[in-house]
Amino acid sequence: MEPGSSRPGGAGDLSPAVAGIMDEDDHPHPAVEVEVILADPAWRRLVPRAEALARRAVAAALRDTGAEGWVSVLLADDRELKRLNGEHRGKEKPTNVLSFPGMGGHLGDIALALGVVRREARAAGKRPAAHFAHLVAHGALHLVGHDHLNAGEARRMERAEARAMHRLRLPNPWRGVPA
């Protein structure tokens, strides 16, 4: 495991819904290993036990895909996501989540920006943990070929995200969103 990464511990000060996620086994998807790299420790203030929730969100998203291998999740700050977004997409601004598909047994990498995720959750009136889990699931689905370039693909991806959130016992992020 890389420096700064961690394994799940106790449920701490999570809400009952999110704490329930942590009551299940630590490896809900035995064919997918998830490494979480905590580049910005402030993630733990925004989302208590962010590392454990990231693992569970990847597993929930990939459960029915047949995916096997490993995924890394980078919990970074806005500056790092701005750099990655500029380097890989030519967009000189931070974004909430980026996915980089891998090859072979490496399914790929997911990176999230702390400040963007915090601001989006606040603006949408969502619990940060729920928004975070949704974005991790979204990133994981990109790694296995889901996309949202057209309306049909977007609907399929949204349904897969809603299923993942249901598995995590978190709110459907698309409920109440106009089609």
CB under 8 A, 24+ apart: contacts of 121-130: 126/171, 126/173, 127/15, 127/18, 128/46, 128/47, 129/14, 129/15, 129/18, 129/47, 129/48, 129/53, 129/170, 130/18, 130/165, 130/170, 130/171, 130/173
Distances (CA, A) of 6 to 26, 30, 101, 144: 12, 18, 22, 24
Asked if 60 and 88 touch (Cβ cutoff 8 Å), the reply is no
Q: Is 148 annotated as a binding residue?
A: yes
Output the CA torsion sign for 14, 18, 23, 28.
negative
- Please state the residue numbers annotated as binding site: 138, 142, 148
Residues at the annotated binding site for Zn(2+)? 138, 142, 148
